[in-house]
Structure 1
Amino acid sequence: MNPYLRLLTFLIPLLLQGISPLFSKDGYKLWLQYHPLESPQKVQRLMGAIRVEGDSPTLAILKKELQLAANGFFDENHPLAFDYQEESARLIISKRSPQRWDPADKGSLGREGFRLLQNDAGAIWIAADTDIGLLYGTFKWLQLMQAGQSIPAAGFHSEPKIQRRILNHWDNLNRTVERGYAGASIWNWHRLPDHIDQQYHDYARANASIGINGTVVTNVNANALVLTPEYLEKAAALADVFRPYGITLYLTARFSAPMELGRLPTADPLDPEVQEWWKKKAEEIYQYIPDFGGFLVKADSEGQPGPHNYQRSQADGANLLADALKPHGGIVMWRAFVYSEDTPDDRAKQAYQEFQPYDGSFRDNVIVQVKNGAIDFQPREPFHPLFGAMPQTPLMMEFQITQEYLGQATHHVFLPSLYTEVLQSDTYVNGPGSTVSKVIDGSLHGYSLTAMAGVANIGTDRNWTGHHFHQANWFGYGRLAWDPQTSPETIADEWLRLTFTNAPEFIKPVKKMMLQSHEMAVNYMTPLGLHHIMAWSHHYGPGPWVTDRHRDDWTATYYHKASENGVGFDRTASGSNALEQYAPELQEKWGNLQQIPEKYLLWFHHVRWDHPLKSGRTLWDEMALRYQKGVDEARENVATWQNLQSHVDEERHAHVLSFLKIQAKEAVWWKDACLLYFQQFAQSPLPDGVEPPEKNLEYFMGIRHRYVPGN
């Protein structure tokens, strides 16, 4: 058959069914789908008479966004005009002036805030003090329209609670991504600065739509080359793309750069030549990027050089760079993920010991970036003890959006549930109600500099994040960085409506699936406070047997300490006493076996296998049943998604279904491997209701995964 005829025989049936293979929904549009509205008439009337006041690159982006939305909302090419007179305009987008604003609202909206209003005649006004505020307000209005929601009668007012809302890319200059599970790095340094890929614009647009205003485009395990003129020119090209979207570019700084690039004999932060080198380097960077945000630094950790090399403090190291950046308005984000070359008595105590004694010693343009927990982005950790412990030093939150320890690319885990659990934890440092969120938004201690970072899960996969549902974690991080009080329920509902459909018969079961997914994953991986029992190095799959490596605190046995006498890490006064780093109220509660929330039980206590829990079951039986519960729920998710095929396009439905099946399969792998391992110490049978493993422990211990992405 003629190849053209063969193509037509394939295309015609699809076109007759209303399906276009050329415009399939592959996930690239993220939550900016702009699918046709159920009742477009009202929005069509508004978008038929628009006035956008002003002219700037940001406002040009705003107009383009309105045009994209109109074409999608009305399922047709729907050209818009933006120059209606105010009297005839139905949608007015303008910076505020005293003559055009509610007299009762005299306060500033700041650089990024906005307000949506609807007058008695039904006209909509998007108002802000800046063009960036107008862009944020326009995105919000379009999202409300897509979700079928109206502007409240009193108007909608929004300002970010966190000043700097940043993505951290662990991307290397060779386009590999550390802990990246969605393909290669989107930054093609080889082609920069002369070729600007369309994906850079699409990336900036997506971030602006959820209020992210900063990006660190290089790995915290830094390469000093990025500070050379060759790469600064490339970075400047990216900064030029990001600027109209309100996004500031940051870079990672390798502490030893003065030696590697400047040929100095030392990188000692108190050495005058080193200080002068960083001063000149900062001046050079700002010549390329006038609005450069500053440095993110990982030092004295996992082989990265730092002030420890010269018997200096973390404050000495951070202040060196802060002094160089200060004249230009830049900041230093100095990571608290620091631990010594020697294995400590308890890794969980290290960051507190390194930083808390130096509270108040850091320059005012330094902010210490603290992971949500004291170990390393585990499926569940208590909040980091540094939160609340440094009232004179701004602290920022570091969440991991990429799922290093949570099934990586294929496991569906809705992370805003994890983030909110941490953000709403009470530190008690100023009495009840001293939540972590109040620490990082500055309200608890009066910080003048506030920030939140998320380790990005973005790559060159067509859908950006590998798993379609991992887009919700990027989206949810942005929403919580804007306002840490936003509920996971609100985020899940909004993302589903923007990404798929407003149909309640779809929203209700999938939202339930999302909101339960974090607890489900904790159950089939690390229930009851178990932690860091993943496979060696790549962290893909279970490895509770991992032991005898060159660092004890990189092994599983260091953390679970399983024996015939019980399991768990004793962090009370009878053990490492890491509990001492928390407020007295938490020491009393978490130090008591009867009062501690069971989700943290084995994090703080070594517990007998026959210890009775609140359910009345022994620790062993409860652990086994939690593992089984996680498996059962993973299987239920497969069935739930299968039944929703009529609500989702074929491509995305099939893709998600295949990943949910992988998750259910690997949940069984986790359950069987972990229970077989721990059973040899518990010396008890599996309780009723727990499926017996089909393989033996030796089988699971013999599994070797090679070339795991992101390693």
Structure 2
Amino acid sequence: MQLHLKYRFLILVLMILCFADKAHAENGYDLWLRYTKIENPGNYKTYRELHKNIIFEATSPRLKAAKAELKKGLLGMLDLQPEENGKISKQTLIIGTNQSSKWIAQLSFVNEINQLDDEGFIIRSAKIGGNPVTVLAAKNDIGILYGVFHYLKLMQTNQPLEHLDIKEEPKLQYRVLNHWDNLDGTIERGYAGFTLWDWERLPMYKDQRLTDYARANASVGINGAVLNNVNANAKSLRTEWLVKASGLADAFRPYGIRVYLTARFSAPKEIGGLPTADPADPRVRQWWKDKVKEIYSIIPDFGGFLVKANSEGQPGPQDYGRTHADGANMMAEALEPYGGVVFWRAFVYQNERHIDRVMNGYQEFKPLDGQFARNVFVQPKNGPIDFQPREPFHPLFGAMPKTALAMEVQITQENLGHSMHLVYLGSLFEETLQSDTYENGKGSTVSKVLQNYKKSHGISGIADVPNIGTDMNWTGHLFGQANWHAFGRLAWNPDLTAKELSEEWIRMTFSNKEEIIRPVQKIMLMSQEAAVNYMMPLGLNHIMNYDTHNGPEPWHDDPTWKASDYHKVSKDGIGIDRSSQGTNAVSQYHSPLREEFNSLKTCPENLLLWFHRVSWDYKMRSGKTLWDEMVSHYYQGVQSVEEMEKIWASLDGKIDQERFEHTRTLLKMQENEARWWRDACILFFGKYSGKPIPKSFEKPKHSLEYYQKIPFPYDWDSTLYFKK
């Protein structure tokens, strides 16, 4: 691995040189920040007139970063380098804070500016001395940076710049990426290359890619990055590794991004020389205080710790008979004097056959509500299992009013086809955020629950596991960029819709032409449901391959894990009874949702087999039997991918060839894998149902035994199924 680390950046340079004779943006590197020439002639002319004069005094590193971004955008979109004479003239753009600009200090709405959130900004059309001007103002420098990115986005998406009156403030304060990057350069559940963090050459050498990573995050409002894997290595807290991390903090600081570290709970024993990591032991508590003091001496704006404890073999406070609150509060106590926070993951479960895993997180954390320090986030995943294609929202949302929760979602598509499948996750994020918890009656959505913690606890947040790596286009699949973009924008405002965000991303990434926007948007908005259908429809879950988490394996059976625990298939039916007559997982939700999930008649059919065990002959609302309905969903999933391919093919010649071919090839791969999922699952479940595949559908080309023998990861050379 060390040999690879020495040469992977050389390989990256060679890749860049290979693309030097092509349009740089079209390899996907520039993400949604392409800043290509404005296509609309009328807008191009108008925008140029509005930007001939700029007053922007950039004195701090953050303001300098904002000004550099503005210049980059104007040069790329308008081929314009504005005048900067410091004087007001017709159509002047004035940018600054009350402290950095004398003009901002004189505005009639300066009090409104000073009352903004620390990260907020105002963009407003106004007049100074009779001259029409556009003002971009904020209370702090970081607000100016966010405002500049927003202003450039208006131009990228062909929005009018006259008569502006925009006021933006983030609705969640902590908007953090949880990188699962290992210290050896690999990434757990990463499908876009290796880590961006060049540990061998840090802290002195900072690749341009680090700045571009920070720019991309700031452009959508992300303000934090956890640098290392939740399955942590204690040595990341050693002094020499903290110094390396300080290099990343330095690179990210101008863009408002604070660095965090995953802290291994047993670090006092592993690297501290103590005989215990018991949070009740004064020596352990002092070790953490000393370690945190050292961290802040090296990284003054350090964000805090992310912790995975007592889950999947990770050490934690329960090893010593203590609670999650005891462990989290010990770290919070050390961080509190410096303004740091703890993200304590609620992804915990007992890997035992007789326990319903979906209930573990609630059962462990609900009794602790109110026992966590005020600088602690309890961080559940969006659903109670583990980043499945579809889950109900985690019942802890709406169940812990005395504890700040930060939702954890996933971009990296661990269980959604990795970087090979086009699955737009804006739809999945919206589905969860707009789910009603009924905590305080109707309208208490997950989004509102998360936002309300700012009022009740002074902190609010959301986190995401990204798929960002050394691949030229950052995310492996070009459309993986849309999921990064969607997370950032929803972290800033959780009430935005997947539809509006998809259009925004398309306009910035491809074109403002309707003939491109509408087809691409249709693909994106149908993609999540397509994946659910060809993988795990009607509430099925956790039937993917045990090792790779890609491809079907509903037959997996070994002493530690059985797929049958998640689908309970038999000749009588399929599904898990989590009703009041079964495991009673429905009791973890508020009424009337509890009653809705509990009844076969009212349970949403897209979660039916999650909450109920259902006979094969059960009549669905469509009039079909459960078996026929399930088969129909599997085939519909494949048909949807085929439709996505046809829509994309219609864009040939309208999108640059490199990105077109990249997506076309991966869509073909997705179709093949969708068929693999469909045929394997139908044959396996059909073995138990004893029912035939309806005559209207094509039959699988191979036997169940064939699919069961496909190796993982599958061998493309020997698997003839994929050579069709």
Task: Identify the match of residue 106 of structure 2 among 78, 96, 99.
Answer: 99
- Tell me how far apart the structure 1 counterparts of residues 230 and 160 of structure 2 sit (CA, whole Å): 42
Out of 383, 395, 400, the residue aligned to residue 393 of structure 2 is 383
282, 292, 296: which one aligns with 2:302: 292
* Residue 47 in structure 1 maps to residue 59 in structure 2: no
Does residue 474 of structure 1 match 2:484? yes
Q: How many residues align?
A: 685
- Amino acid in structure 1 at the alignment position of 2:124: L
**1:230-629 → structure 2 map (5 Å cutoff):** 230-340=240-350, 342-442=352-452, 446-550=456-560, 552=561, 555-629=562-636
Cα deviation code 1:427-451 (max 9, x no counterpart): 1121111111111112697232101
Q: CA deviation at 1:512?
A: 1.1
Superposition deviation, residue 58 in structure 1: 1.0
The residue identity in structure 1 corresponding to 2:72 is L
1:154 and 1:64 mapped to 2: Cα distance?
23
Distance change >3 Å, CA 579–CA 472, structure 1 → 2: same
What's the CA shift for 1:629?
0.6
What is the CA distance between 1:66 and its match in structure 2? 1.6
Q: Decide which moves more: 261-270 or 114-123.
A: 114-123
Distance 1:365 1:33 in 2: 38
Q: Secondary structure at the match of 1:476?
A: helix
Normalising by the residue count of structure 2, what TM-score does the alignment of the two structures yield?
A: 0.92
Q: Which residue of 2 aligns with 1:649?
A: 656
Using the TM superposition, give the Cα deviation of residue 354 of structure 1 relative to its aligned residue in structure 2, in angstroms. Answer: 0.8
Aligned residues of 2:52 and 2:83 also touching (Cα < 8 A): yes
Number of the residue aligned with 1:64 = 68
CA contact (8 A) 1:568 1:602 kept: yes
Task: Map Cα deviations across residues 298-342 of structure 1 (whole Å, 9 max, x no partner).
Answer: 000111100111111000110111111111111110000112354
Query: Structure 1, residues 463-504: CA drift from partner, whole Å, max 9, x if none?
Result: 000010110000000000000000111100000000000010
Q: Does the C-alpha gap of structure 1 residues 206 and 557 become closer, same or farther in structure 2, counting only changes over 3 Å?
A: same
Q: In the aligned structure 1, how far is the partner of 2:357 from the partner of 2:162?
A: 49
Contact 2:548/2:713 (<8 A) preserved: no
SS at structure 1 position matched to 2:511: coil
1:87 deviates by 4.1
Identity of aligned residues (%): 51
- Greater shift, 150-159 or 573-582, is seen at 150-159
CA contact (8 A) 2:349 2:360 kept: yes
TM alignment of 1:4-19, pairs within 5 A: none
Note if 1:149 corresponds to 2:165: no
Are residues 1:190 and 2:197 paired?
Answer: no
Whether the 8 Å CA contact 2:307–2:342 is kept in 1: the answer is: yes
1:160-181 residue CA offsets vs partner (Å, 9 max, x unmatched)? 0000100010000001000000
Shift of residue 688 of structure 1?
3.6
Which residue does the alignment assign to 2:11? none
Moved more, 113-122 or 231-240: 113-122
Q: Which amino acid aligns with 1:27?
A: G
Q: What residue in structure 1 maps to residue 8 of structure 2?
A: none
- Which residue does the alignment assign to 1:212? 222
Distance 1:695 1:282, change over 3 A: same
Letter in 2 for 1:86: I
- Shift, 1:104, TM fit: 8.9
Residue 72 of structure 1 deviates from its aligned partner by 1.4
Moved more, 435-444 or 412-421: 435-444
Helix, strand or coil: the match of 1:442? helix
- C-alpha displacement of 1:71: 2.2
Measured against aligned partners, the alpha-carbon deviations of 1:583-611 in whole angstroms (never above 9, x if no partner) come to 12112111110111101100000000010
Q: 1:222 aligns with which of 213, 223, 232?
A: 232
Comparing 681-690 and 351-360, the one that deviates more: 681-690
Distance in 2 (CA, whole Å) between partners of 1:22 and 1:154 is 33
Q: From the superposition, tell whether residues 119 and 647 of structure 1 become closer, same or farther in structure 2 (CA, over 3 Å).
A: farther
Q: Contact (CA 8 Å) 2:398, 2:446: kept in 1 or not?
A: yes
- What amino acid sits opposite 1:124 in the alignment? T
What's the RMSD between the two structures over aligned residues? 1.7
**Contact between 2:370 and 2:402, CA under 8 Å: does it hold in 1?**
yes
**Residue pair 1:51, 1:89 contacting (<8 A) in 2 also:** no
Secondary structure of 1:706's aligned partner: coil
User: Which of the residues 82, 104, 116 maps onto 1:109?
Assistant: 116
Unpaired stretches in structure 1, ≥5 consecutive residues:
1-18
Contact 2:438/2:444, CA 8 A, preserved across alignment: yes
Contact 2:25 2:34 in 1 (8 A): no
Q: Which residue of 2 aligns with 1:34?
A: 35
Partners in 2 of 1:274 and 1:446 — Cα distance? 31
- Give the 3-state SS of the residue equivalent to 1:100 in structure 2: coil
Task: Give the deviation of 1:44 after TM superposition.
Answer: 1.6
What SS does the corresponding residue of 1:601 show, helix, strand or coil? helix
AA paired with 1:223?
A: N
- C-alpha displacement at 1:153, in angstroms? 3.4
* Aligned CA distance change for structure 1 residues 301 and 116 (closer, same or farther; 3 Å): same
Q: Quick check: 1:434–1:444 contact (8 Å CA) kept in 2?
A: no
Return the TM-score normalized by structure 1.
0.94
Aligned to 1:692: 699
- Any idea what the Cα deviations from partners look like across 1:547-578, whole Å, max 9, x if unmatched? 2332x3xx321110000110001101221111
Residues 52, 83 of structure 1: 8 Å contact kept: no
Selected match of 2:136 from 126, 129, 148 = 126
What residue identity is the alignment partner of 2:573? G
Q: Which digits, 9 at most, give the CA deviation of each residue in 1:85-139, with x for residues without a partner?
A: 1345611112145531437947711211111112365532111111110111111
Distance in 1 (alpha carbons) for counterparts of 2:162 and 2:425: 29
Instruction: Note if contact 2:328-2:344 (Cα within 8 Å) is conserved in structure 1.
Output: yes
Task: Write the letter of the residue equivalent to 1:293.
Answer: G
Structure 1, 436-445 or 483-492: larger mean CA deviation: 436-445
Q: Is the 8 A contact 1:268 1:310 kept in 2?
A: yes
Greater mean alpha carbon deviation, residues 39-48 or residues 158-167: 39-48
CA distance in 2, matches of 1:455, 1:251: 14
Q: Which ranges in structure 2 are unaligned for 5 or more consecutive residues?
A: 1-19, 99-103, 716-724
Paired with 2:571 and 2:115, the residues of 1 have a C-alpha distance of 64
> Hey, what's the Cα distance between the residues in 1 that align with 2:615 and 2:375?
48
Q: Aligned pair in 2 of structure 1 residues 332, 575: CA closer, same or farther (>3 Å)? A: same
Q: 1-side partners of 2:710 and 2:585: how far apart?
A: 34
Aligned to 2:683: 676
Residue 8 of structure 1 corresponds to none
1:252 offset after TM fit, Å? Answer: 0.4
Matched position secondary structure for 1:124: strand
Q: Select which of 662, 666, 669 maps to 2:669.
A: 662
- Whether the 8 Å contact between 2:434 and 2:445 is mirrored in structure 1 is yes
CA distance in 1, matches of 2:287, 2:267: 9
Letter in 2 for 1:705: F
CA distance in structure 1 between the aligned counterparts of 2:91 and 2:334, rounded to whole angstroms: 50
Supply the distance in 2 between the matched residues of 1:703 and 1:547 (Cα, whole angstroms): 16
Q: Is the 8 A contact 1:439 1:445 kept in 2?
A: no
| Superimposed CA distance per residue, residues 53-96 of structure 1 (whole angstroms, 9 cap, x where no aligned partner) | 3411111111211221122113x4x4344443134561111214
SS of 1:250's partner is strand
Q: Is the 8 A contact 1:501 1:647 kept in 2?
A: no
Shift of 1:46: 2.5
Q: 1:234 to 1:83 in 2, by over 3 A?
A: farther
Which one-letter code corresponds to 1:500 in the other structure?
Answer: F
8 Å contact 1:116–1:151 — kept in the other structure?
A: no
1:85 paired residue number: 87
Opposite residue 94 of structure 1, the aligned amino acid is: G
Say if 1:268 and 1:307, in contact at 8 Å, map to a contact too.
yes
Q: Which moved more, 1:334-343 or 1:204-213?
A: 334-343
